[in-house]
Amino acid sequence: MASNKKYWKSVEELNENSSIVETLRNNEFVEQIPVDEFLGDKENLSNTSTSRRDFLKYVGFSTAAASLAACEGPVVKSIPYVVQPEEIIPGVADFYATTIADGFDFANILIKTREGRPIKVENNNLEGSNTGANARVHASVLSLYDSLRLKQPKIEGKPASWGEVNAKVKASLEDAKAKNASVVLLTNTLASPSTDALIADLKIKYPTVKHITYDAISESNALDAFEAVYGVRALANYDFSKADVIVSVGADILGDWQGGGYDAGYAQGRIPKNGKMSKHIQIEANMSLAGANADKRIPLTIAQQKNALADLYSAVVNGATPKNAEIAKVAKQLISAAEKGVVVTGLDDLDAQLVVLAINNKLMSEAFNPNAAKLTRNGNAKEVTQLVADMKAGSVHTLIMSGINPVYTLPNSKDFSEALKKVKLSVALSMKEDETAKLATIAAAAPHYLESWSDVTIARGHYSIMQPTIRPLFDTKQFQEVLLTWTENSATYYDYLKGFAANQIVGKSWNQVVHDGFATTETYALTANIIDVSAAAAKLGQTKSSGLDLVLYTKTGLGDGQQANNPWLQEFPDPITRVSWDNYVTVSKKDAEKLGLENWNVANGGLNGSYATLKVGSATLDKVPVIIQPGQAVGTIGLAFGYGKTEGMKQEMQVGVNAYTLYSNLNANQSVTITKTDGEHEFACVQLQKTLMGRGDIIKETTLEIFNTKDAKEWNPIPMVSLDHKATPATEVDLWTSFDRSTGHHFNLSIDLNACTGCGACVIACHAENNVPVVGKSEVRRSRDMHWLRIDRYYSSQDTFNGDVELKEKTSGLMNSISTLGAMEDPSENPQVAFQPVMCQHCNHAPCETVCPVAATSHGREGQNHMAYNRCVGTRYCANNCPYKVRRFNWFLYNKNTEFDYHMNDDLGRMVLNPDVNVRSRGVMEKCSMCIQMTQATKLQAKREGRLVKDGEFQTACSAACTSGAMIFGDVNDKESQVAKLVEDERMYHLLEHIGTKPNVFYHVKVRNDK
């Protein structure tokens, strides 16, 4: 029998009404510990001199335990699957093929989902796919979880049902039909055959309907030229892997020109093989990604570019010799290459586009492929201009808009806004309550592409499927669904699409096409109409400069601005300027000196600059920040689209100025007036140094001639160190005892500087895979950005990188060194550029591991440098001891913190987080893990299937995202693997090899074609 004795610790416990006893039963301390005064105040904590370790030591473990206990979340009941979907296994990722088609970016992709949540974009690498996900495509998964999305339809700003919306629209359509009044469908480029068929059905039911396609960034001149020659409204396609000589006039072929996606083909020809590589000549005004990667870059104004194009035409077609020596040399190389040569242009000029088509036809260029013409742009600038005039005249009865935001993107947006009031019914199908949706009668909530079905024809002969990877998060309907409703078609769009696709695909079932994401189809060959373009060429040759040229362009991060509310993209540093959270006017140094415009660095390392006012015709843009850009053609300035949005945006993301204001007649080339304005702008720039400054052991490069004729020891020398007072190769000296790494896997990452274009897709892919936090402009400016992977951009001071090294080595004496090195701080007017991705190098002899007092960072058997976050106490010794500066410190808690109101601060945004990677807390170090969760998943998959891992299966987020083939990841212990062969290549070198850290990341010497 149990004892009924009563025990107590103190007499106070015998008092049944004691409040102290009751409190002690539930809490260790009667009084509340005032930790919030210290830990809860960001300013106090950031300014204190007391370290985290001292704090715990002084206050004591029990206090720390109490504060940690206070952080425990409330109990949430978990509800298990009643009937678990057989394709979903908890803890195992599923991948679905789909297609992004938002009117600006088009690509076949895979979507990684976990327990039904899309969390990451991958490239669809099946043969024949139109892949090549750029930074925006990789970031698009985060836009699905945008907390400011339009969650239900609204009529005149008030919540409404879809029944009310459809009734109102159908009544308006019937009224327009009865009155024979104009109904306009204004959409972005759909490139969707099934949607075109639905629009045709709507036109049959309502004969006054007219469909106008409006691209925010117009390719109308290129479309008009191609249509005149080939009879199809499309854009010429190119395969740069088939070209030996590439001449680009104002076309950023590695950026967003014609929808992008040319990186892979371009990079194939840029890696030296059998003593050969392609020659790339870039003629442009703004320093672009294409210009940065070119062998020869010629900075010219718009008029000079047109003159150069006319000279090339005369040389190729008529055999004339250009007067300009540089252009004459280009023409000679182009003619010599014949069918292996290709010319492209991005000039917003019909004559220029016609001339380029004629040159390529004359060359019979193999890289020029009109039969696979791209259908990703279909806008008609003239029809859009006429529409605004018709609206102002009151002759448009009903206006239905989908996928566009003309109140933000049209240069004459005020005219459009006023004209919209004269339209009897305006409907905006939009994901956001943006500038246009705010003014429209009906704001119809549209789904994200990851919640939608559709089909897409990216190029002729290619049919793609878009499939949903999650059920709609909100009360939304896609454009095709409402078209079916308005035409009184009772079919679901899925059934309609499935039936429609049966006539598009041959030899593949519906399930197979959905599984693959695309199918190739047969199509007829296009025949070129013979058009005499000699008059057009003559007109180009007579063009003269008139004042300062403004060249509007798109940045790799924001593009046309559709995803301006995406924090990943806002914090993404521009590959050229390395500035995030801003757009700005780029000016040459000469023009800046004339105008009194400046950039300077302040004490905390931040970059500041002047403001300017830009005026194009009657349009004015005030307070535009200025960046002095090396390589900007004298007489020109540049400005990026996509910024300056205010509606449907978080306050933190409302940055920059709206360049569309100056986009007169939808032409990217304008004559502009610029004047300095009072004020000082603060930039968030992540790369302070401007030039390579002779750092020859960081970026190693050589010329193709030297590469072919000299021994590797001359152009890729092994660094020497002193051992017993003798010069000894660094690879033969060790401070540590090595152990046998030949058993099991040993991972290496290869980075080819010839193939890396600096596009940044890897940076965003790393963000998505590894739950990297966004810290905001203020923190980035303090050099506290959290990117695990950075792409350093280096300029030369001289015309070549070798010139930098030679000049630095020739310095002697104090005064000569000071003057020479001081001059080298300024990049040349037309510098050569190199990009270098840098992440944790996973050193086999890692200096960070030896200084960590708590063994938070240690080395794994497979070559990865690990981080045990719960051991880290934030001493930052490892960051100080890292020669590559790749470690990041969590200054604040970025998750669920109102001070950092980005995706990690709301429940919807956190749905994108990868459950395989923990979210790091305040006060710990973090860095690249070489995606250990991905390598582990690959091994487990192979183990379940009872087989060895195949070469190419091991991937990191960055290597999987790299479409140019610059990053190759794998197991060097597999001697047949690609990475094992690359590590033996004569171009291979390690970063700062003389230090002796023995990294598991290696690079390949950059080779330039200087002939």
| Local structure of 257: helix, strand or coil | helix
Give the integer Cα–Cα distance in Å for 807 and 506.
Answer: 63
Residues in contact with 646: Cβ distance below 8 Å, sequence separation at least 6, in sequence order: 435, 654
Q: Beta strands 599-601 and 158-159: pairing type?
A: unpaired
**What is the token pair recorded at 976?**
């047949």
Give the integer Cα–Cα distance in Å for 856 and 53.
Answer: 15
Confidence category of residue 74, pLDDT binned at 50, 70, 90: very low
Give the integer Cα–Cα distance in Å for 338 and 328.
Answer: 15
> For residue 43, is pLDDT > 80?
no
Q: What confidence score (pLDDT) does residue 47 get?
A: 54
> For residue 15, is pLDDT > 60?
yes
Q: What confidence score (pLDDT) does residue 184 get?
A: 95
Residues in contact with 115: Cβ distance below 8 Å, sequence separation at least 6, in sequence order: 88, 90, 915
If you average pLDDT over residues 980-1007, what whole number do you get?
A: 92
For the chain, the straight-line distance linking the first and the last C-alpha, in angstroms and rounded, comes to 101
Q: What confidence score (pLDDT) does residue 61 get?
A: 44
Mean of pLDDT over the chain: 87
> For residue 21, is pLDDT > 70?
no
Closest-CA residue to 249 (of 381, 348, 377): 348
Residue with the larger pLDDT of the pair 737 and 28: 737
Helix residue spans in 180-275 (DSSP H): 193-205, 220-230, 263-270
If you average pLDDT over residues 384-407, what whole number do you get?
A: 93
User: Computed from CA positions of residues 987, 991, 997, 999, in that sequence, does the dihedral angle turn out positive or negative?
Assistant: negative
Helices and strands counted in the chain (H then E) = 35, 41
Residues in contact with 514: Cβ distance below 8 Å, sequence separation at least 6, in sequence order: 97, 465, 467
> For residue 70, is pLDDT > 90?
no
Q: What confidence score (pLDDT) does residue 523 get?
A: 85
| Encoded amino acid at 966, one letter | A
Residue with the larger pLDDT of the pair 22 and 200: 200
Confidence category of residue 581, pLDDT binned at 50, 70, 90: very high
If you average pLDDT over residues 746-773, what whole number do you get?
A: 93
The per-residue DSSP string of 828-886 comes to PSS--EEEEEE-----TT-HHHHH-TT--EEE-TTS-EEE-TTT-----HHHHH-TT--
Give the integer Cα–Cα distance in Å for 693 and 709.
Answer: 27
Please calculate the CA angle 311-315-317 and round it to the nearest 5 degrees: 115
Q: What confidence score (pLDDT) does residue 90 get?
A: 79
Cα-to-chain-centroid distance, residue 189: 21
The residue written with tokens 């007092």 in the block is 853
Give φ, ψ of 77 to 5 degrees. Answer: -75, 130
Helix residue spans in 601-718 (DSSP H): 704-709, 712-715
Angle, helices 135-143 vs 761-770, to 10°: value is 30
> For residue 803, is pLDDT > 80?
no
632 touches 286 (CB < 8 A): yes
Confidence category of residue 318, pLDDT binned at 50, 70, 90: confident
Per-residue model confidence as pLDDT tens digits over 497-510: 999 998 888 788 89
If you average pLDDT over residues 548-576, what whole number do you get?
A: 93
> For residue 41, is pLDDT > 60?
no
Per-residue model confidence as pLDDT tens digits over 678-709: 999 999 998 776 666 656 678 888 889 999 99
> For residue 9, is pLDDT > 70?
no
User: Computed from CA positions of residues 967, 971, 973, 974, in that sequence, does the dihedral angle turn out positive or negative?
Assistant: negative
Helix H or strand E encompassing 42 = helix 42-47
Q: What confidence score (pLDDT) does residue 783 get?
A: 87
If you average pLDDT over residues 705-724, what whole number do you get?
A: 88
What are the percentages of helix, strand and coil residues in the chain, rounded to 5? 35, 20, 45
If you average pLDDT over residues 514-528, what whole number do you get?
A: 89
Closest-CA residue to 235 (of 223, 253, 252): 223
302 touches 669 (CB < 8 A): yes
Confidence category of residue 773, pLDDT binned at 50, 70, 90: very high
Residue percentage of the chain with pLDDT more than 70: 88
> For residue 952, is pLDDT > 80?
yes
What Å distances lie between residue 294 and 248, 321, 328, 1000, CA to CA? Answer: 10, 24, 18, 29
Confidence category of residue 55, pLDDT binned at 50, 70, 90: very low
Burial class of residue 162 in the structure, from the number of CB atoms within 10 Å of its CB (0-12 exposed, 13-18 middle, 19+ buried):
middle
| Encoded amino acid at 390, one letter | D
- Range in 74-88, 139-153, 179-193 with the lowest mean pLDDT: 74-88
- Range in 116-125, 345-354, 695-704 with the lowest mean pLDDT: 695-704
Residue with the larger pLDDT of the pair 741 and 273: 273
> For residue 1, is pLDDT > 60?
no
Confidence category of residue 734, pLDDT binned at 50, 70, 90: confident
Q: What confidence score (pLDDT) does residue 715 get?
A: 87
215 touches 379 (CB < 8 A): yes
Number of Cβ atoms within 10 Å of the Cβ of 712: 16
435 touches 428 (CB < 8 A): no
Q: What confidence score (pLDDT) does residue 632 get?
A: 93
Q: What confidence score (pLDDT) does residue 579 get?
A: 93
The residue written with tokens 């490892």 in the block is 878
Closest-CA residue to 917 (of 927, 908, 907, 905): 927
If you average pLDDT over residues 238-262, what whole number do you get?
A: 93
Give the integer Cα–Cα distance in Å for 41 and 44.
Answer: 5
> For residue 33, is pLDDT > 70?
no
Q: What confidence score (pLDDT) does residue 225 get?
A: 94
Per-residue model confidence as pLDDT tens digits over 445-496: 999 999 999 999 999 999 999 999 999 999 999 999 999 999 999 999 999 9
Closest-CA residue to 901 (of 789, 892, 761): 892
Give the integer Cα–Cα distance in Å for 790 and 687.
Answer: 10
> For residue 72, is pLDDT > 60?
no
Per-residue model confidence as pLDDT tens digits over 644-684: 999 988 888 899 999 999 999 999 999 999 999 999 999 99
The per-residue DSSP string of 545-607 comes to --SEEEEEE--TTTTTSTTTT-HHHHHSPPTTT-EES---EEE-HHHHHHHT--EEE-TTS-E
Give the integer Cα–Cα distance in Å for 268 and 285.
Answer: 26
Residues in contact with 539: Cβ distance below 8 Å, sequence separation at least 6, in sequence order: 351
User: Computed from CA positions of residues 102, 440, 639, 600, in that sequence, does the dihedral angle turn out positive or negative?
Assistant: negative
CA atoms within 13 A of residue 415's CA, in its CB half-sphere: 16
Per-residue model confidence as pLDDT tens digits over 361-388: 999 999 999 999 999 999 999 999 999 9
Adjacent-strand bridge partners of 999 = none
Confidence category of residue 809, pLDDT binned at 50, 70, 90: low
> For residue 977, is pLDDT > 60?
yes
If you average pLDDT over residues 528-557, what whole number do you get?
A: 90
**What is the token pair recorded at 231?**
């009879």
Where are the strands (E) in 220-340, listed by range? 235-238, 245-249, 279-284, 296-299
Give the integer Cα–Cα distance in Å for 941 and 755.
Answer: 31
Give the integer Cα–Cα distance in Å for 322 and 541.
Answer: 11
Closest-CA residue to 622 (of 547, 575, 673): 673
Q: Which of 62-66, 638-642, 894-898, 921-925 has the highest mean pLDDT?
A: 638-642
> For residue 558, is pLDDT > 70?
yes
If you average pLDDT over residues 281-296, what whole number do you get?
A: 94
User: Computed from CA positions of residues 233, 235, 239, 244, in that sequence, does the dihedral angle turn out positive or negative?
Assistant: positive
| Local structure of 399: helix, strand or coil | strand
> For residue 931, is pLDDT > 60?
yes
If you average pLDDT over residues 517-529, what whole number do you get?
A: 88
212 touches 185 (CB < 8 A): yes
If you average pLDDT over residues 820-839, what whole number do you get?
A: 78
Q: What is the CA radius of gyration of the chain?
A: 30
Give the integer Cα–Cα distance in Å for 588 and 741.
Answer: 52
